[in-house]
Structure 1
Amino acid sequence: MNKKSVIISTDPGIDDAVAIALALFSEQLEVKLICPIFGNVSLENTKLNTEKLLTLYKKSPRIVLGSHKPLLRKSINASNVHGKSGMDGYSFTASNILVDETITAAAAMHEVVNQSDDKTTIIGIGPLTDIALYIHLYPQDFKKIEKIVVMGGSLGRGNYGVLSEFNFAADPEAAKIVFDSGIPIQVAPMEVGRQAKVMPEVSEKIKKLGAIGDMFYQLFSKYRGGSFATGLSMYDALAIGLVLNPTMFDIVSTRVEIETTGLLTAGASLIDLKGYLDLPANAEVAVSVDPKQFEEWFIEAIAKTI
């Protein structure tokens, strides 16, 4: 079986750490490029976190540094959820991984897509700034992109603004560029991440899955994306799940528009499930996930890290 060529744009982040592992240890994927970007914490910290993670994972995909701020706006962060460093709660060993800072993430994406024999899937689990820049600069690559898979947006209310989910609120203009591109897009919105909870008994199972499982357990104990006692939301893992195990989702084809001009609603995602906008579909949106299927897939996928 040929492995699927994959690029990951990420802002680790505790749930990003999990998503990266799920992708790197999958037998179905070949992660050819990882681009840390600003988001949950500063670019300095997401760069360090990526280096630490890949050292622990003993994996060496190409890493190219991404954007340090949004296209037009001031940066926001989610250190209140992930801790000041982005991965508080675990003492990592010294990193032996180097991040390439001699080329832009957009240019590196272009190189990977053009050098791949098959089409490439781009996974965005942070702000979409670098993916938007890539789309803007290299439209000739569109035919070689399988799809863009993102964790972001919300079906209803937000978790950063009243109507805006964090990843899209971090760079609304970038999100709009991505959804206006015409490239096939799949979306795991915030609410689906809240359905895919890691319950206490699952955390205990993960703790026993080697050094990486123990690392996740310790990070989970500090993660404020839910409650360690009542269940943690694994938002970014859902993007990997859409690539690897789409049958656990209920997916609809619909229109997604991103608000960029609203004074109080910038970054809001209008996921038009009832056809109010009377516009053609531009994305496949997961509207629910089977919690039991997710739990089984999640544990099985992490077990592959041993």
Structure 2
Amino acid sequence: MIPIILDMDPGIDDAVALSIALTNPNFDIKLLTSVAGNVSVDKTTANLLKLTTFFNRQEVPVARGASKPLKKAFVDASYIHGASGMPGYDFETPKNQAIAQDAVSAMAETLLAATEPITVVATGSYTNIAQLIQRYPEALPHIKRFVLMGGSLSGGNVSSVAEFNVFTDPDAADIVFKSGIDIVMIGLDVTLKALLSLKTIDAVAKLGECGKMLHQLMTAYGDTEADGKPMHDVNTICYLLAPEFYTLTDYWVDVITQGPAAGATVADTQNRWSQGKKNVHVATDIDAAAFEKWFVAQIPNMNKQLEGEE
């Protein structure tokens, strides 16, 4: 099993990613942490609790994280994800509550208690992770790697150069990218290729209660390309289970923190300033057909979990 901490801001594509992670037997989820991003941290925390209740996984601890970026003002993406962050499906009231610890101290405690290194997966802004790096350096050797949804080498989705998660808190991203910890960056270069066709999304609706839930979330999702909908955050989970779908290229990547290019992730593709050093494994291509087929194949696991089957 893969021990992981998931740091998220659900958000529809976060919710879809978490649905797979909570129900795939290859994952040992040690902790879920929320962060402000697609919607406020109160709402992202509530959405994590809704999903752990939905899948009968209330034993997975949920910790509330940062309510705003390190320095800049917080601006959400409710115009894409709806006011609640997870519109379209009527989730029951959560049966569990967030733990008393804040996300950063809960991460540190979980890492320090670990008997093997833990992969930290982040699908929102990296504010919590940056604070972990700053406040708990003793916990960092217990991190196997960061798998991050974010960034882009080929243009942005909130500006001409910036991807949303990095743009939301570029100062945090800068700290993370300079941390020296092994990083896999899964950004728009691949997530905009990993589309679920509208035909596939319609077919998902027929795959039990979980298929119905996913279909209702995905059809409420405001992020749509000509050939389908990108489930950006799902790629972090897919990468951990099927890395052969992805092409990674090692680069030195810097984060721009100020000015009109704030949030840009700039790779030294020509070795102009990095002197041959590398700090990020950047996902640069994907087998999109394999991704779509893999996604549909996860839904039976979800229904088994929902029905209480082993």
Residue 271 (structure 2) pairs with residue 275 (structure 1): yes
Distance 2:20 2:267 in 1: 27
The aligned length equals 301
Match of 1:235 in 2: 232
Please tell me the residue identity of whatever aligns with 1:11: D
Match of 1:246 in 2: 243
Distance 1:119 1:178 in 2: 18
Match of 1:54 in 2: 52
Match of 1:179 in 2: 177
Contact kept? 1:5, 1:116, Cα under 8 Å: no
The Cα of 1:96 is off from its aligned counterpart by 0.8
Contact kept? 1:56, 1:212, Cα under 8 Å: no
Please tell me the residue identity of whatever aligns with 1:94: T
Distance 2:119 2:33 in 1: 14
The Cα of 1:5 is off from its aligned counterpart by 1.1
List runs of 5+ in structure 2 lacking aligned partners.
304-310
Contact kept? 1:153, 1:167, Cα under 8 Å: yes
Match of 2:96 in 1: 97
Distance 1:80 1:205 in 2: 26
Alpha-carbon displacement from aligned partner over 1:194-252 (angstroms, at most 9, x marks no partner)? 1010112211332122212111101111101115x841001000111221111001111
1:300 paired residue among 293, 297, 300: 297
Contact kept? 2:63, 2:106, Cα under 8 Å: yes
Deviates more, 1:266-275 or 1:279-288: 266-275
2:28 paired residue among 27, 30, 33: 30
The Cα of 1:106 is off from its aligned counterpart by 1.0
* TM-score normalised by length of structure 2: 0.94
Please tell me the residue identity of whatever aligns with 1:57: F
Distance 2:77 2:10 in 1: 11
Distance 1:274 1:245 in 2: 30
1:264 paired residue among 245, 260, 270: 260
Distance 1:159 1:140 in 2: 36
Contact kept? 2:189, 2:283, Cα under 8 Å: no
Matches within 5 A, 1:279-294: 279=275, 280-294=277-291
Contact kept? 2:251, 2:279, Cα under 8 Å: yes
**Quick one: structure 1 residues 302 and 271, their matched pair in 2 at CA, closer, same or farther if it must change by over 3 Å?**
farther
Matches within 5 A, 1:9-158: 9-60=7-58, 61-100=60-99, 102-158=100-156
Match of 1:170 in 2: 168
CA RMSD of aligned residues (A): 1.3
* 3-state SS in 2 of match to 1:304: helix
Please tell me the residue identity of whatever aligns with 1:275: N
Distance 1:276 1:212 in 2: 49
Please tell me the residue identity of whatever aligns with 2:5: I
The Cα of 1:76 is off from its aligned counterpart by 1.2
Alpha-carbon displacement from aligned partner over 1:86-142 (angstroms, at most 9, x marks no partner)? 111111122212112x22211111111111111000000000000110011111222
* 3-state SS in 2 of match to 1:38: coil
Distance 1:239 1:149 in 2: 6
Q: Percent identity?
A: 35
Distance 2:267 2:207 in 1: 38
1:6 paired residue among 4, 7, 14: 4
Distance 1:44 1:118 in 2: 31
Distance 1:273 1:243 in 2: 25
Contact kept? 2:24, 2:298, Cα under 8 Å: yes
Match of 2:307 in 1: none
Segments of 4+ in structure 1 off by > 6 A?
A: none
List runs of 5+ in structure 1 lacking aligned partners.
none
* 3-state SS in 2 of match to 1:50: helix
2:218 paired residue among 213, 220, 240: 220
Distance 1:215 1:236 in 2: 17
Please tell me the residue identity of whatever aligns with 2:51: L
Contact kept? 1:148, 1:185, Cα under 8 Å: yes
* TM-score normalised by length of structure 1: 0.95
* 3-state SS in 2 of match to 1:160: coil
Please tell me the residue identity of whatever aligns with 2:238: G
